[in-house]
Amino acid sequence: MLIALGILTGVLGFLPLFLSLRLSRRSTSTHALTIGLYGLVGVCISMVILIAGLIACAMLARESLVSYVVAEGVVFLGCTIVYVLYKNVLAKRKRVK
């Protein structure tokens, strides 16, 4: 059960990063600070979600904390890697053809 919650928390932790990247790409501002702040806010919110889930698991079921953290971390990093690869590799291949 906690592994499934770790997976859910990992996906929810990725959503702020995804939204901040989308906002920074659509921003009409030419200031690097504005675009950087979108990314920084996304990272901060994402870390708050991940840490809140970690603390909740530590308080409720300390014996399953390792499996929860591993599931959360793998899914969060997996989502990030898949998104970056899609945007930087696969999306460019589609445009070239």
Work out how many domains the chain is built from and give that number.
Answer: 1
User: How many other CB atoms are there within 10 angstroms of residue 76's CB atom?
Assistant: 22
Residue type, 24: S
Instruction: Tell me the average confidence (pLDDT) per consecutive run of 10 residues in the chain, 97 residues long.
Output: 87 90 77 80 92 91 89 90 83 65
pLDDT given at position 96: 60
pLDDT given at position 55: 93
Task: Concatenate the DSSP letters of all residues of 18-79 into one string.
Answer: HHHHHHHHH-----HHHHHHHHHHHHHHHHHHHHHHHHHHHHH-GGGHHHHHHHHHHHHHHH
pLDDT given at position 24: 78
pLDDT given at position 85: 85
Task: Give the domain extent around 62.
Answer: 2-96
- Tens-digit pLDDT profile for residues 27-46: 777 777 777 888 889 899 99
